[in-house]
Chain A
Amino acid sequence: MEYPDDLRYSREHEWVRLDGDAGVIGISDFAQDQLGDIVYVALPAVGSEVKFMEKCGEIESVKAVSDLYSPVSGEVLARNDSLIEQPELVNSAPYGDGWLLQVRLIDPSELERLLGTQEYKDLTARAEE
């Protein structure tokens, strides 16, 4: 299981990577593994607003649906539309080609409320038990 060091994680298993005043959002390796084969991703439109830890989309695997929470507040600058044709990218490259959204941050201090890599690792270790 991968836990890249340059990310902040939410307790709902989303990650955010800071890139200037924007953040790229995805779900963690642990999350994609738990969900299994991902078959569909519903994401908000470009230009819409997302709020810190509020529902902003859905991720479906064959036999489960999981709400997606935005780990930051802001405006959606881009979304990964290649997931329409290839939702399996979330499984194969959760931190790379399987990214979900790019959001312009309005409150970078929210990042402080997210977990660091070790904290998140501990959280998933407890969830595994």
Chain B
Amino acid sequence: MSATRVPYIPNTDDDRRAMLEAIGVASEEELFADIPSAGRVRGLDLPPALSELELVQQLGKLADFNRTPGQMPSFLGAGAYRHFIPSVVNHVISRSEFATAYTPYQAEISQGTLQAAFEFQSMVCELTGMDVANAGMYDGASALAEACLMATSITGRRRIALLSTVHPNWQEVVKTYAYGRGLAVDVITSEESALTEEHACLAVQQPNFFGYLEDVASLGDSIHETGALYIAAVDPISLGMFKPPSDYGADIVVAEGQSLGWAPNFGGPNVGLFACRQQFIRNMPGRIVGRTTDAQGRIGYVLTLQTREQHIRRENATSNICTSQQLVALAATVYLATLGKTGVRRVAELCYHKANYAAARISEIPGYSLPLQGFFFKEFLVRCPLPPSELNRRLLDEGIIGGLDVSDLIDNGMLFCVTEMNTREEIDHLVAALGSVNG
């Protein structure tokens, strides 16, 4: 027997012989007869096969090569966040019955996935205050892009407006999607009243990319005056403390759900939260789970409103999406159930107090200042006395992963993020390091 036998393939040589005989062919090659010989490949230039032991050793080495925020204080945020993940979350999502199932096409043997998705939708509605939510999108950024496309289809207008303080990467995702549909994207600032009756929507991030609260209530009035839809992109953890977007008139709400019980994973996979007003339910993209009963009156859950989707409406579908990032959404559901009403608020408060403490301490260091006014949640912008790239190199030497270099947006600007994961000791260490590199 060759050493390269694949442990995931059960067929033995005897099995294959018996099966080939039943089919009536002499060899497996005959089954590939339809592939033209010009298109056949004899060998691939791939690295040699590894045993499980070698795989663990080699990939383990690559993992250890990375420097992780667990080993050193980190103050990076900007759309991917470190929050505490209760052990319960990983135990639940590791259940094979959740992890190795697929889209619940057969409801009778998929109630676990379906009911969990219904819980997720319910919790997203409670967090955002909105009427309805879907079962999940790829991530927050693509959820925002889909929300903008949805606004254009509802209003029949072909211009999308984004507030300039929306995450730059999210803006770019919106532009990519808009290019497909041939839609215009205008990036506007809150000071000017650039919103016109040609705009389908204005998208606002709350708190904004720099961590600060926008004047979301007054924005809502001006958006609705033009007949556009109000899209709010929110931080779900912040909703433990701050007003939900339903309170300030949002029509569609999106969020990145990674903060809710899912590790950053170098940026993905994630899950996008997507909620809206009841009246837009048939314009919503993505999977939706509904509650119903069987013939005996037992309550159960099914995929519903599927006529919006690509497998039925094909080129007229609301979107081509056919995933709900179900496992990530499950993690968020378990996270929210575990932390619950008081825990989510507590995490939000911890972030708020620690971020404020860090900002106050940093602003006391000569040469550092906070260029923006107002309330912020867990991120804040600092103007530094030297280029942030240079500063970050020095912080790394001190064993600290600094903030995000945003000097392309603000002169010598660095965006810091502080969550409940950062201890006072870490923050004080950062402050001391920033002070020492200034000399």
List chain A positions with a Cβ less than 8 A from chain B.
39-40, 60-65
A41 to B312, alpha carbons, bound, how many Å?
16
B313 interfacial by beta-carbon distance below 8 Å? yes
A129 to B312, alpha carbons, bound, how many Å?
24
B306 interfacial by beta-carbon distance below 8 Å? yes
The answer to whether A64 and B282 have CB atoms under 8 Å apart is no
A85 to B316, alpha carbons, bound, how many Å?
24
B31 CB, min distance to chain A CBs, angstroms = 34
On whether A65 and B282 interact (CB within 8 A), knowing A40-B307, A60-B307, the answer reads no
16 pairs of residues in contact across A and B, judged by CB atoms under 8 Å: A39-B307, A40-B282, A40-B307, A60-B307, A61-B307, A62-B306, A62-B307, A63-B306, A63-B307, A63-B312, A64-B307, A64-B312, A65-B307, A65-B312, A65-B313, A65-B316
Which residue among B306, B307, B312, B313 has the maximum number of chain A CB atoms within 10 Å of its CB?
B307
| Contacts of B272-307 to chain A: CB distance below 8 A | 282, 306-307
Identify the 4 closest CB pairs spanning chains A and B, nearest first: A60-B307, A65-B307, A65-B313, A65-B312
A46 to B313, alpha carbons, bound, how many Å?
26
- Residue in B closest to A39 when the chains form the complex, CB atoms: B307
Which residue among A39, A63, A64, A65 has the maximum number of chain B CB atoms within 10 Å of its CB?
A65
Q: For B306, what are the chain A residues with a Cβ–Cβ distance below 8 Å?
A: 62-63
B283 CB, min distance to chain A CBs, angstroms = 12
A12 CB, min distance to chain B CBs, angstroms = 17
Q: For A60, what are the chain B residues with a Cβ–Cβ distance below 8 Å?
A: 307
A83 to B252, alpha carbons, bound, how many Å?
27
B312 CB, min distance to chain A CBs, angstroms = 6
A62 to B307, alpha carbons, bound, how many Å?
7
A64 CB, min distance to chain B CBs, angstroms = 6
A92 to B282, alpha carbons, bound, how many Å?
24
| Contacts of B289-335 to chain A: CB distance below 8 A | 306-307, 312-313, 316
Q: For B313, what are the chain A residues with a Cβ–Cβ distance below 8 Å?
A: 65
Q: For A61, what are the chain B residues with a Cβ–Cβ distance below 8 Å?
A: 307
Q: For A40, what are the chain B residues with a Cβ–Cβ distance below 8 Å?
A: 282, 307
A106 to B282, alpha carbons, bound, how many Å?
33
A64 to B307, alpha carbons, bound, how many Å?
6
A63 to B282, alpha carbons, bound, how many Å?
15
A69 CB, min distance to chain B CBs, angstroms = 16
Q: For B316, what are the chain A residues with a Cβ–Cβ distance below 8 Å?
A: 65
B314 CB, min distance to chain A CBs, angstroms = 9
A91 CB, min distance to chain B CBs, angstroms = 16
A65 to B312, alpha carbons, bound, how many Å?
7
Q: For B307, what are the chain A residues with a Cβ–Cβ distance below 8 Å?
A: 39-40, 60-65
A89 CB, min distance to chain B CBs, angstroms = 18
**Other CB < 8 Å A-B pairs besides A61-B307, A63-B312, A65-B312, 4 of them?**
A40-B307, A62-B306, A65-B307, A65-B313
Q: For A64, what are the chain B residues with a Cβ–Cβ distance below 8 Å?
A: 307, 312
A26 to B149, alpha carbons, bound, how many Å?
33
A60 to B312, alpha carbons, bound, how many Å?
10
B52 CB, min distance to chain A CBs, angstroms = 43
Q: For B312, what are the chain A residues with a Cβ–Cβ distance below 8 Å?
A: 63-65
A60 to B313, alpha carbons, bound, how many Å?
10
Q: For B282, what are the chain A residues with a Cβ–Cβ distance below 8 Å?
A: 40
Q: For A62, what are the chain B residues with a Cβ–Cβ distance below 8 Å?
A: 306-307
